[in-house]
A and B are shown apart, each in its own frame.
Chain A
Amino acid sequence: MGVKLKALLKSPWVFHMATGSCNNCDIEILDCLTPRFDVERLGILLAGSIKHADILLVTGSGNRQSMERVKRLYEQVPKPCLVVAIGECALSRGIFIDSYNCPLPIDKVIPVDVYIPGCPPRPEAIIAGIAKLIEKVKSKA
């Protein structure tokens, strides 16, 4: 494993992006940071700027207006970076699949490394997903 990737996995900073979600997935992500789940003890921190991010957490059904920005943000994030799609919406657009405003699922726009299903996924599931992502990257390297 390259030194970059190793440093990245040690204490991954996450950046959260909502692309037309119902908010619930986003709230559950924030929930992971609060005392009951407290992912900070695992070194996971919410980054304020995309330039500081190691992992992108993407939620939402890929609304047209936000998709342009998601692409731009993905270009701005320092590589290597990992992308986690959280929630049914981010996986397949979920209940909004027939909507005129959600043309594509997120993984058609940016590459996604891990999918966490649920509507919304429980905080435990989100933490397990990120743990799996770290495992996956380690085992590949």
Chain B
Amino acid sequence: MKTIVPIGPYHPLQEEPEFFTLTVEGEKIVSVDVQVGYNHRGIEKLSEMKTYDQSTFVVERICGICSTSHPFAFVQAVEDIAQIEVPERAKYIRTIIGEGERIHSHLLWLGLAGHFLGYNTVFMWAWKLREEILDVMEILSGNRNNYGMFKPGGVRRDIKAEDIPMVLKKIDSILPTLDMLKKAVLDDPVLQARTKGVGILTKEAAINYSALGPTARASGIKRDVRKDSPYAAYDRVQWDMIVTQNGDVFDKLVLRVLETFESVKIMKECLLTLPPGEIDANLKTIPPGEGIGQHEAPRGECFHYVKSDGTNRPVRHKIRAPTFMNLPTYKSTVINQTISDVTIILAAIDPCYCCTERISVLDTKGTKLYGGEDLVRLSQAKTERLRKEMGVK
């Protein structure tokens, strides 16, 4: 007998709203469906209403966890149109901020993974450690999250030489705890029992679904934008791409922990070898044209496409977040697993719905997508209706 288990949209599992429909036969999952749209804010349209400088702040607020990844990719797309070279120092600063974000994001995920497994100690430890990194980010950028560091042509804020020793000390201070966390994760029999062989994404499936980032790398695919087409200062420093082979939740866990160490390495090297000079190329006008920007966000490749007509606003801005590609892998990982494992499998790709919800209006027959004007028209009609329903002027 088949039973449908609805989860969501507001549930304690994840902090963002989304709606899962699990069809189960006894304990076994036979099919899964995800419904999103609870986070859609129309960012692409908003971005097209704003100037390039303002858009950087809008894309920063696509997602709070990858609040550097989107500006990172966006400014590179704009620089691609203008065909300018960013000063060396700015590249290093960008790399530092990008890696700091990866550390905090991976720790955040590690904590949540522990929480989903009912292992709250890991949650508390990981998040406690994460605070240290947030402190580092606050020293560097002035903010715990939403750093506001990026601008087309460079960065907004320089790193002061006198801050660097303190930052290095703080980064070093997280290493022992990180090491402990790594050992705890790698050696803990309970964690292994819960995650080994669970939710396997095979290499073929990962390729077929075009999985990205840690989700792909845990299935043995060597894919990392930082190595494949280096940008910023990623080709100036020494670091290794971590790849694991089994594709189960355990491998994803290990991969993210090990990646955190690599990020620490990159961050430290960049801070030590920070070249002197300008931090801004003073980009004044954007010529007409098209540009793309890529950045390896903590969850995978983040891609921005920007089209310019020579004014100070983008005419088209298209964003593809990594979770968009990783979500469909559920179809392969969740099926035939037991319902008790579902939480951790769903969480294993480190989904970010805020990032993904660029557009969610689709004709059910799958043939026609609504265009921008249709959306605006529909939206205006609905606003009117809502206002009437709610009795608001």
Please list the residues of chain A having a beta carbon within 8 angstroms of any beta carbon in chain B.
16-31, 34-36, 46-50, 60-61, 63-67, 69, 73, 94-96, 98-104, 108-109, 119-120, 122
Q: Are A65 and B15 in contact (CB under 8 A)?
A: no
Q: Are A101 and B390 in contact (CB under 8 A)?
A: no
Known: A24-B67, A100-B379, A104-B390. A34 touches B127 (CB 8 A): yes
Q: Are A22 and B64 in contact (CB under 8 A)?
A: yes
- Interface presence of B16 (CB below 8 A): yes
Q: A21-B64, A31-B131, A35-B128 are in contact. List 19 more A-B contacts (CB 8 A).
A: A20-B38, A20-B39, A20-B40, A21-B39, A46-B12, A60-B39, A63-B40, A64-B382, A65-B38, A65-B40, A66-B39, A73-B10, A95-B57, A96-B46, A99-B41, A99-B43, A100-B379, A102-B41, A103-B386
Known: A46-B12, A66-B38. A25 touches B390 (CB 8 A): no
Known: A27-B65, A48-B12, A95-B61. A100 touches B386 (CB 8 A): no
Measured in the bound complex, the distance between the Cα atoms of B375 and A80 in whole Å is 39
Q: Are B379 and A101 in contact (CB under 8 A)?
A: yes
Across the interface, which residues of B come within 8 angstroms of A22, CB to CB?
Answer: 61-64, 67, 354
Measured in the bound complex, the distance between the Cα atoms of B354 and A66 in whole Å is 13
| Residue among B9, B63, B145 having the largest count of chain A Cβ atoms under 10 Å | B145
Q: Are B41 and A96 in contact (CB under 8 A)?
A: yes
Q: Are A101 and B146 in contact (CB under 8 A)?
A: no
* CB-CB contacts below 8 Å: B200-258 with A: none
Which of B37, B111, B131, B145 is in CB contact (< 8 Å) with A36?
A: B131
Measured in the bound complex, the distance between the Cα atoms of B39 and A61 in whole Å is 9
- Interface presence of B49 (CB below 8 A): yes
Across the interface, which residues of B come within 8 angstroms of A29, CB to CB?
Answer: 15
Measured in the bound complex, the distance between the Cα atoms of B67 and A49 in whole Å is 29
Residue of A nearest to B66 (CB): A23
How many A-B pairs with Cβ below 8 Å?
138
Q: List 20 A-B contacts (CB under 8 A).
A: A18-B17, A19-B17, A20-B39, A21-B39, A23-B64, A26-B15, A31-B127, A46-B12, A49-B12, A50-B10, A61-B41, A65-B40, A66-B38, A69-B38, A95-B46, A96-B61, A99-B41, A102-B41, A104-B390, A104-B392
Q: Are B37 and A99 in contact (CB under 8 A)?
A: no
Measured in the bound complex, the distance between the Cα atoms of B61 and A50 in whole Å is 27
Measured in the bound complex, the distance between the Cα atoms of B382 and A109 in whole Å is 16
- Interface presence of B164 (CB below 8 A): no
Known: A18-B39, A98-B46, A104-B386. A69 touches B61 (CB 8 A): no
Q: Are A63 and B392 in contact (CB under 8 A)?
A: no
Measured in the bound complex, the distance between the Cα atoms of B134 and A36 in whole Å is 12
Which of B9, B67, B390 is in CB contact (< 8 Å) with A66?
A: B9
* CB-CB contacts below 8 Å: B345-363 with A: 352, 354
| Residue among B15, B38, B46, B58 having the largest count of chain A Cβ atoms under 10 Å | B38
- Interface presence of B42 (CB below 8 A): yes
Across the interface, which residues of B come within 8 angstroms of A94, CB to CB?
Answer: 61
Q: Are A27 and B64 in contact (CB under 8 A)?
A: yes
